[in-house]
Structure 1
Amino acid sequence: MTVKLMLTGANGQVGTSLQQRAVSLGWQVLAVDRSELDITDRDAVLQVAARFQPDVIINAAAHTAVDKAESEVAASYAINRDGPQFLAEAASRGNAVLLHISTDYVFAGDKDGVYLETDAVAPQGVYGASKLAGEQAVATHCSKHLILRTAWVFGEQGNNFVKTMLRVGAMRDSLNVVADQFGGPTYAGDIADALLAMAQRALQSDFAAWGVYHFSGAPHVSWHGFAEAIFAKAGELQLLAQLPTVNPITTKDYPTPAKRPANSRLDCQKIQHVFGIQPSNWQHALANLQQYLPQ
């Protein structure tokens, strides 16, 4: 049986990787971005899904501008809560499996250790609160759901920390990077692989392990440590004429409209146990760093 996948957010960091990988698996893919399907339009979502009749829906669409979300509250909730609800309704109507991407921002970020799927949620800003509302909407409206919380996403497509470091690093002798926030950088291609592996398992008739899973990169590191690793690889590959000095600073030294979690370290044992999926190896993913340079 050829799997039919309906993919939203198809041109984003994870969506692009999903599209490529699903096609290579021989899946029939309906890949849409916002210009082709506004997921906040319930009637449009239900109509497109009814017409295509997917086996799997993967929602990679999100309002991810964390700072802008503080002032764009309605847009954040429309895209991060309402859109996932409508996709969940569509999946439920068509008996499809729904996979939804969520975030470390659902947590307060003040725990000493790693965050488990069962830990109390306490988002500190609009982005995290709207994403948590999306998780709840998915769980409420579609029984066959898998929610994948991830963190610190980077990939060849879109804007991300790796690209910013290379761009800024090429222009400056030194730069300041926050050293008191910790997490696991996660390669978008690995997220795509994880989602597709989960979908394949979830399509089997004996599958019942629905719910929330964590997937992020290892080893855990600070933003400063991640920046140093990026520039070390850039130096190894001779991508920059001169490597900048990376100065560690505190969160207080770099105020932003939205509060960032100090601790974004996600425990990934559950996804390893249920699906056999290992954490993303972000150091390995930096091997193709030249693809992150401005074109």
Structure 2
Amino acid sequence: GTNQKNPCSVNGVTYQDGETFAPDCSQVCTCQNGFYGCSSRCPHELTKPSEDTCPEPKLMKVKDECCRQWTCQKIDTTHAPPTTTLAYPPWRRGEANGPCPQGSDWTPCSITCGTGVSVRTIVDPVSCATAQEQRLCLLRPCEEKFERETCTATVKLKEKRRILYQDCISVKTYRLRFCDTCRKRKCCFPKRTRHRKIEFQCSQGKREVFNFMWIKKCRCAKKCYGEVENPGKRRKERERNKRRRQESLKRRERERSKKRRERARNKKRRERERNKKKREKARDEKRRDKERADKRGRRCKNNTQ
């Protein structure tokens, strides 16, 4: 009939009118009367970061992710404290894919309060080219106390608020989680985080999309944030604790063996003493029987005389 819609043929595959399909992981398409339109699943690829906050932006493929990520070839550290070292962590442990080196983990946040920066090194698995990727991080607001009945490492805001970074402010409001400082003589820092993309409204009417470290759970330790993040230190500490536990187990086992041997010796000694007493008792009984027999014999002899 005249109302029949035409199907779409894409890469040898036929899709009916109104059917939705995905030719690859980065886009989704819909067939409409023989023609099809597609929308990107990676809209951030079309929004180039500002040169002010991300010098020389470049789209780079990230392992195990479909969408490419914007990376900055040079990191602007003018807004970080002078004592902050951004390129902190060592290379990841493990076997690299081919001759390429492996990327690094995220560094600790550049500042302990307010919005700072965290970076990591990523590697192109094809060309082995390396680049630094950055994200914003917010451990806790500065000069703000959280009123709560109990002290916990993780605190969640009761109301939504916007995120501030330099001359930018987030377009939406968020109910964030922070790492509190109520624990005495301990430092609290993120234990579990996830990666989010947040859109910011910047000066001169620019819109920027920044990577953001979203805190899910915090932990507190005697060592401050960054010190416990060194995997080499953690591994050595675990090995040292393992050796200590093994030595303690061996020492306790030696003490238990010594006690078992001592109990066995004491048992044998008591057994010997009991047997000795039994033998002495038997000899005494035999001697008394002999003496009684001798007395009876002398008495009978006297009576016969």
Rg larger for? 2
Pick the structure with more helix per residue.
Answer: 1
Q: What's the TM-score once normalised by structure 1's chain length?
A: 0.27
Q: What's the TM-score once normalised by structure 2's chain length?
A: 0.26
